[in-house]
Structure 1
Amino acid sequence: MDEIEGGILSAIPPTALSLNLTRAAIRMEHSHTWRIDKSNEVDDLVICLEGRGHYLIDGEPRIMEPGDAMLILRGQHFVGWNEGRETYLGVAQHFTLDIYGRHNLIAQMDLQPKLRLTRWALLEPLVRHYRQSVPPSSVTLGQHHLFMVLLIAFIEDAFIGWRDHATYQPEGADAIDLAVMKAATMISANPLDPEIATRAVDASPYNRDYFLREFQKRVTRTPRKYQELKRMERAMHFLEAGLSVAAAATEVGYSDPYYFSRMFKRTLGLSPRDHLNKVRQSRDGGLMQLDEPEQALALADGLAANQ
């Protein structure tokens, strides 16, 4: 079955993120004599392909094995070495990831610092291609885009929660933009949780009525309507993967497939069966489901339903 969308970054507009690769990628190929002792001024994502690497990150031991990814935060002191005879092979990339062009997004998150990537079977060829294709002394557009895929995969696996006390205190529009973004990502990541919209709103530092207005202004839906949209987007994936309407309804929390179908049409502008017909048409060379005019109509219907 296809991967289901809805990770922690899925609600963030692409234009809100600014990724900067601050140096050429490091093609790690370390023998048993390798040792490093330093700290970086930027964040560093390390992914192991072969062998084993040993690290002390601010005194905390970590061992990297194939499929493992590790984030070394800017300013952290780290020591690395290879104890075995097998070459320690992988890739490391120095980067910054800013939100709205000004603030460090990584610093807003509590992230598990080291883990095995859950989609390693899919990601390993990408990591190998990244390592083999990047130039030794420059940064390319393709490298930039591919690293964003790898970084998002790590963040999706490593995300624990948003930090209550950020490293900066935004003001004005920046502050409410960030609060809405956090609420939207909470909802997007957990759309099947019946209380997630309430918890996302309650987590905001703003007056509830004010925050609801600002959320709807930026997202064009109330938090509950946005949650329903994300539930239906998951249902679309289940339908396209071959599940029946009743089975897809059950997967997204509806016991009554007829009520699910009404909500699906109300949210997306077409019934589940009409959606599948559009998918079949696109596979046979017809229009893709929800092309521009239909998207505009569905958006207008959604806006009207929110009034």
Structure 2
Amino acid sequence: MDNFTVMLSSFIIRKKEGFEGERACILPNTVKRGLQKSSLCKNIYLTDIGYYPKALYHNRERQHGCKQYILIYCIHGEGWYIIHHKTYKVKPNHFFILPENVGHKYGADPNNPWTIYWVHFTGQMAGEYFRYLAGNKSFRPHMVFPSDERNLLFDDIIRYSSMINNTDAVIYANNCLYNYLASFKNTVFIKSETERNQIDAVDHCIALMKENLDKNLNLFEICKMMNLSISHLSTLFKEKMHDSPYNYYIFLKIQRACYLLWNTPMNIKTIAAQLGYEDPYHFSRIFKNVMGLSPKQFRNRDQ
């Protein structure tokens, strides 16, 4: 046991009252049973959710763990948790997830108590979400960038979860939970003003592509219009879109082709020409490579 753990063990005091400004919703068993049976919610649903600001003396110990997965997201202050006899420190913008049925302890730092959002969740796909969010780091805390959108999602979830006699509200809250959990992947939300400018550059690039679907722009031409280097734009694009600018440009062209095939009587040669392809056979090969169907098969699939 390290010095940090010894300090914690000597300081643990059970908080008997709530924390000023706290919010929490503990769903009744009848509601949880309904969610477990609901085809709309049974894959993943919450059982408890809350927000504890400056939670001095907050601590919990569960020798045999909890029946649900527990996500704790620290936005201010510090804390700690112990799992499998190992202690982890938690700092601002850290989150961690405790697996179901595994003994653990956690609590606020006595000198700088954490402010946390927390949620207990379970369901048929809860384990998949745990593995998705934990990744290769297993039980270690994860750094996540702050996000107003994430906090607004939480507000919706706790507000509508509290309307326990309104089935529509509870279903809405639990479907928001999917988005809330996914928001803890760093690729989802904008991280800083610098990155916001970088994301704007990617959006600008996509707008240029959409305005020029009738042409065959190359990356050099796009970068020249944006006054960016090819390497810089490619890096920004890859970080946000997980794709190259060229591949995404082709995808946008094929999406436009899908619209024209569905909604107009234009023949394939005319559609190809409208999208900058002089050779309709070359267009058809690219279309099939992207969509898995030829343009003709795509047009006829619902007939």
Give the TM-score range, shorter chain.
0.3 to 0.5
Higher RCO (CA 8 Å, separation ≥ 6 residues)? 1
TM-score by length of 2: 0.46
* Higher share of residues assigned strand: 1
TM-score by length of 1: 0.46
Q: Which has the larger radius of gyration?
A: 2
